[in-house]
Structure 1
Amino acid sequence: MGKEVETISSMNLPVDEALEIKRCRYTPENSSRADLKSFSRICIVTGTHGDELEGQYICYELSKKLQESPQFVKGIIDIYPALNPLGIDSISRGIPSFDLDMNRIFPGNKEGSMVTKVAHNIVESLRGADLVIDIHASNIFLREIPQARINENTVSSLLPFAKLLNLDFLWIHTAATVLESTLAHSLNTIGTPCIVVEMGVGMRITKDYGDQLLDGIFNVMKEMGIWCGETKNISKPHKAINSMEHSVFFVNSAASGIFVPSIGHCTTIKKGDTIGHILDPLEGKIREQVLSPCNGMVFTLREYPIVYTGSLVARLIGEEIISNEEGNNI
């Protein structure tokens, strides 16, 4: 197996520093550069937001497993662990000093500012891949179950891959203007398929979630002919809940205060059940009892306790009975 670390974008910074975006490329054993055009190619990208660290563990584990079994690599696997290295280094969600959310400047501009040039170089590096998996965590405020987020305009091309990713939820959402400047939208627009995966919570690594998605990535690579080794779930992949078959409910706070949940994350509840309470620590009062608007499962739950009127507290997949692939309630 070939392994090569490459710099796909480099910009000079003050004090003799540089902003460098790097990828690690794995290719089949004894393959030449001329051979690469005939291989399928998958790209794993993460670190667009500096406070989202779940993808760092996945990149490490993926590289480790590829190096342990190089004989099973039959295609091109590109790993981009840090699209926003300055944000990761400074624990900043956006690009520090520029006050920019990197996932709002794609596809970039090769003649533009420094950060838009970097965004342009990233898109050009990913262009032409057979699949890009863009891994995100949630922010510090919310915890998410492992899920794919797919625009309704790209369902036909992306849903078959998403079903193999060993996720818990496939959220098919409507088009929104803000998506036009994201990496996923920019890539899908130019014909490079890109799935967004979100899981966990900001500034943390949830190992179980990472291992779950890693199994799914190997499932997809085997389906694409990029990996010929064993996989854990390829014969019977994890059955994910599909939002096209269920309603999604948003629960927002009606009061300000401290949110204390009464349930765990990924819990099945009934309409009217208590999700949690919003407390007033000054007067020792309960400002709001937060109730479930439906029967269903909590797939997003507030992690950071400070809330204001209108703050998102939870999201639910609504259904009278949500069942797994064996037909048992979850």
Structure 2
Amino acid sequence: MIKTVVSIDLPVDEKLLIKKQVISSLGDDENADQKNNGVKKISIVTGIHGDELEGQLVCFEVQRRIKEHPEFLNGIVDIYPALNPLGLDSTTRSLPAFDIDMNKTFPGFNDGTMIEHLAANIMQDLRGSDFVVDIHASSIFVREIPQIRIPLKFKDKLIDKCRLMNMDLIWASESPSVTENTLCYALNDEGINAVVVDMGIAMYCTKEHCSQVTEGILNLMKNLGIWTGPVGEIKNSIYAEGLDSTSVVISKTPGIFVREVECGQKVEKGQLIGRVINPLKGTVEEEVVAPENGLLFTVREYPVVEVGSLLGRIFK
């Protein structure tokens, strides 16, 4: 059952609509998602940044698995594929025309600006969820392995559920994706369990990553009592805490970065990660090596670099 979460009038007789799909074992009547008499509910949200498409495939895959075996559903699954539909339509990270990162506007204010109103209505609709999974992708510049990011402040209440979710890495930190005014932080601050899933690269759907995340969501649903069907093998996640647990690799010279390793590969200190080359001179300007032993969980995909460009992150 598709429901409208919020509708806002736009110029020239248009509307901004944020919609969700409600899948419930209670039936398809209009109030099925409100009959929370001991019934658990999970919410899957994505598309808050319009250039992050990985979550679109996860939304499809979760629905496909449920539709194949509806008898295994024992609760409510709310799926929000596009919290920023205008950004998604225009492949724009921020909300078009406003140039504002929507994920810095929560919990919002119902009587505030249009964006604050959107944020407040999204928050209101997510209240009543037992767990919220906010799915993101990386930028167009770097690729990420499937990982969970959680606010360091709330790690103790979230960590056990995170270990169920089939991720390569769980990172509790104060990184920008989970700081104050993000959806994840605002929900946790109200007592609603929420995590950020980050993976892949912007403007792309990485099929194997999306399958991995889908399996993790189903395993979490099983733990919550929402799913009674089988799930695949679940990974043991690496746990990292704080920004100091990672080593950032940046470019010291401008040029074209040619990488020599894959995202998710374990590297040793001094190992060659890639080279920055100068196509005009035909020279290698910099050999980029790993500063630490560890897991390369972020690596540069977009080859054009400047001084200070992010080339990789290593979990020590």
Aligning the two structures, in what range does the TM-score lie when normalised by the shorter sequence?
Answer: over 0.9
1:128–1:191 CA contact under 8 A, matched in 2: no
* CA distance in 1 between partners of 2:298 and 2:240 (Å): 14
Structure-2 residue corresponding to 1:118: 118
Structure-1 residue corresponding to 2:98: 98
Look up the SS of the partner of 2:45 in the other structure: strand
1:153–1:175 CA contact under 8 A, matched in 2: no
What is the CA deviation profile of residues 9-31 of structure 1, one whole-angstrom value per residue up to 9, with x for unaligned ones?
A: 10011122110111111111458
Question: How much does 1:178 deviate?
Answer: 7.8
1:106–1:186 CA contact under 8 A, matched in 2: yes
Going from structure 1 to structure 2, the CA distance change for 1:14 and 1:35 (only over 3 Å counts) comes to closer
Going from structure 1 to structure 2, the CA distance change for 1:41 and 1:166 (only over 3 Å counts) comes to same
For 1:11, the aligned partner's letter is I
Query: Which of 276, 279, 283 is the matching residue for 2:277?
Result: 279
Look up the SS of the partner of 1:154 in the other structure: helix
* CA distance in 1 between partners of 2:164 and 2:177 (Å): 28
1:73–1:227 CA contact under 8 A, matched in 2: yes
1:52–1:136 CA contact under 8 A, matched in 2: yes
Question: How much does 1:76 deviate?
Answer: 1.0
* CA distance in 1 between partners of 2:14 and 2:310 (Å): 39
Going from structure 1 to structure 2, the CA distance change for 1:9 and 1:35 (only over 3 Å counts) comes to closer
2:42–2:131 CA contact under 8 A, matched in 1: yes
Query: Which of 246, 250, 253 is the matching residue for 1:252?
Result: 250
Structure-1 residue corresponding to 2:165: 165
Q: Pairwise mapping of residues 124-139 of structure 1 onto structure 2 (< 5 A)?
A: 124-139=124-139
What is the CA deviation profile of residues 101-139 of structure 1, one whole-angstrom value per residue up to 9, with x for unaligned ones?
A: 111111111111111101110011112311000000101
2:133–2:196 CA contact under 8 A, matched in 1: yes
Note the aligned Cα RMSD (angstroms): 1.8
* CA distance in 2 between partners of 1:240 and 1:79 (Å): 25
What TM-score does the superposition give when structure 1 sets the normalisation length? 0.91
* CA distance in 1 between partners of 2:176 and 2:262 (Å): 31
Question: How much does 1:52 deviate?
Answer: 0.4
* CA distance in 2 between partners of 1:231 and 1:298 (Å): 28
Q: Pairwise mapping of residues 70-109 of structure 1 onto structure 2 (< 5 A)?
A: 70-109=70-109
What is the CA deviation profile of residues 186-245 of structure 1, one whole-angstrom value per residue up to 9, with x for unaligned ones?
A: 111111111001000000000000000111111000100011111113xxx311111149
* CA distance in 1 between partners of 2:270 and 2:18 (Å): 49
For 1:13, the aligned partner's letter is L
What is the CA deviation profile of residues 51-79 of structure 1, one whole-angstrom value per residue up to 9, with x for unaligned ones?
A: 10000000011112212211111111100
Structure-2 residue corresponding to 1:18: 15
* CA distance in 2 between partners of 1:56 and 1:184 (Å): 19
Query: Which of 2, 5, 12 is the matching residue for 1:5?
Result: 2
Structure-1 residue corresponding to 2:221: 221
* CA distance in 2 between partners of 1:175 and 1:203 (Å): 22
Question: How much does 1:36 deviate?
Answer: 2.7
Structure-2 residue corresponding to 1:324: none
1:73–1:226 CA contact under 8 A, matched in 2: yes
70-79 or 22-31, which moves further after superposition?
22-31
Q: Pairwise mapping of residues 59-70 of structure 1 onto structure 2 (< 5 A)?
A: 59-70=59-70
What TM-score does the superposition give when structure 2 sets the normalisation length? 0.94
2:20–2:81 CA contact under 8 A, matched in 1: yes
For structure 1, the residue ranges without an aligned partner over 5 or more in a row are: 319-330
Structure-2 residue corresponding to 1:28: 25
What is the CA deviation profile of residues 232-284 of structure 1, one whole-angstrom value per residue up to 9, with x for unaligned ones?
A: 13xxx311111149931111111111111011221122111111111122222
Question: How much does 1:286 deviate?
Answer: 1.6
Aligned length, in residue pairs: 312
* CA distance in 2 between partners of 1:30 and 1:290 (Å): 57
Percent of counterpart pairs with the same letter? Answer: 44
Going from structure 1 to structure 2, the CA distance change for 1:291 and 1:97 (only over 3 Å counts) comes to same
* CA distance in 1 between partners of 2:70 and 2:178 (Å): 40
* CA distance in 1 between partners of 2:26 and 2:94 (Å): 38
1:148–1:169 CA contact under 8 A, matched in 2: yes
Structure-2 residue corresponding to 1:238: 235
